[in-house]
Structures are given as C-alpha cells and as structure tokens.
Amino acid sequence: MTDRQSTPQDADLVALLRARDEDAFRILVERYQPTLIRTAMTYVSSRAVAEEVAQETWVGVLRGIDRFEGRSSLKTWLFTILANIARTKGVKEKRSIPFASTGTAQDESGDWLVDPSRLRGSDDPKFAGWWSSYPESWDGAPEERALGNETRALINETIDKLPPAQREVITLRDIDGWTSAEVCEALQLSEANQRVLLHRARTRVRNVLEEYLRVS
C-alpha cells in the first residue's frame, strides 16, 4: 500500500508500476491526466478526442513500461507517447509556436498585452513609451476579494480561454509547478519560446485581475 499523504517520486512509481502495483498506476493517472488532456488539446480539435488520446497514452505507458529505461524523465516519455498517438489522429498537425520575441506588445492573436493608449506617444519625446497614467494599485481591494473563490473562478476561466500553447505553459509552470527545463523538454519548446508563452499568459491573467480588483 502506498501512502497517499506523501508524494512519491516518479522514478519510484515507475518501479512500482513495473511490479504491477495498482496504486502506483492510480497515483500517476491522478498526477498527469489533466496535463495530458490539456496537452492533447493543442494537437487535436475537440476535448473528446483529447480525452481519447490521454487514455490511449496510458495504455501505451502500460505496454512500454517494462522497456522504459528511465534515460528520459517519465514526464518526457509520457509526452512522447502522447505526441505519437495524437499524430495518428491527424487532426491538427502543426502546433502554433509564436516567434521568439518578447519585445512585442501584441500576442499571437493580435491582442495588446498593454493598451497602447496607456503609454505616452512620440508627442512627449522625453517620455515616449512611458505610462501616461500608472496602473492602479490593488492594495485597496479587500483581501478576501483578492484570494476568494470568485477570483479563482475568474482566473480559471481566463486560463481556459487562452490560446492552447499559452494555456499549457502557464498551467504546467504556475499551477503544476514544473521547471522551465521540464516544460521545454516535454513540449519541445525553446527556452525563449517558453518564456514568450508564459509572459503572454501571465500578462493576460494580470490584465483580467486588474479589471476585477480595480478600486472603484
């Protein structure tokens, strides 16, 4: 019996899974299924197909676990299996990866990360590109508002509506706590592209929070 209170390492769970331990499998599914579905969504066009891909990925894990040598991390291996299965579904071949430029104020859908009217233009040569009026402080927002259920629901909703690659990166990094190296390896992203996606996602969530927490 595995103690659910502690958090067993992937490598230990892999060893247990090789020994046909059902609890180890259950823990792995609980740990990675949401991530697998979200990642599958970047390959295929419907949630139903993404769930299918995730399920088949687990079957692939069971079939391959005795040959898995642990040379890559479990995460990377999982994502390789998932990518191969997703490709057989052949729905969306190309993942949309943005240009590696954080210098732009617009993201891949053309939305402004900062409303340009909030920055001064060339009519003020000394301070062109500086704030015309500062962002409002959030300090006046009541604590329970900043951390309450409504805010969490709002953040969830915002993340759900992000372009798939942004959604995937912010979820893995900021919700699941993966390192940037892990995310890059699993999603086959360059460090720079990963940062661009994370930047856009965080900035968009910040902007939604601003609307909500603005002291009126």
Partner 1 sequence: MFPDENDPSVDWGTLTCADFIALCTDYLEGALALDDRARFEHHITVCQGCDRWLDQIRVTVEAVGGLEEDLVPAGVLDGLIHAFRDWKASTPGALEKPAL
Judged by CB under 8 A, the residue of 105, 108, 182, 185 near partner 1 is: 105
Structure token pair of residue 39: 């990642």
Out of 10, 25, 76, 108, name the contact with partner 1 by CB under 8 A: 25
Interface region with partner 1, contact rule CB under 8 A, candidates 67-75, 78-86, 99-107, 182-190: 99-107
Is 151 a residue that touches partner 1 (CB under 8 A)?
yes
Regarding 82 and contact with partner 1 (CB under 8 A), the answer is no
Q: How far is CA 84 from CA 91, 98, 104, 166, in A?
A: 12, 22, 33, 21
Write out the H or E segment, with its range, that includes residue 113. none
Contact criterion met (CB below 8 Å) for 53 and 85: yes
Residue from 21, 108, 182, 185 in contact with partner 1 (CB under 8 A): 21
From the list 39-47, 68-76, 77-85, 167-175, the region that binds partner 1 by CB under 8 A is: 167-175
102 interacts with partner 1 by CB under 8 A: yes
Q: Which segments of the chain are extended strands (E)?
A: none
Q: What is the dihedral of CA 17, 57, 180, 187, to 10 degrees?
A: 150
- Name the β-bridge partners of 106: 112
Taking alpha carbons only, the member of 87, 111, 92 closest to residue 166 is 111
Q: Please count the residues of this chain forming the interface with partner 1, following the rule CB under 8 A.
A: 65
Cβ nearer to partner 1, comparing 45 with 137? 137
**Interface pick for partner 1 out of 67, 149, 177, 211 (rule CB under 8 A):** 177
- Shortest CB 42 distance to partner 1, Å: 17
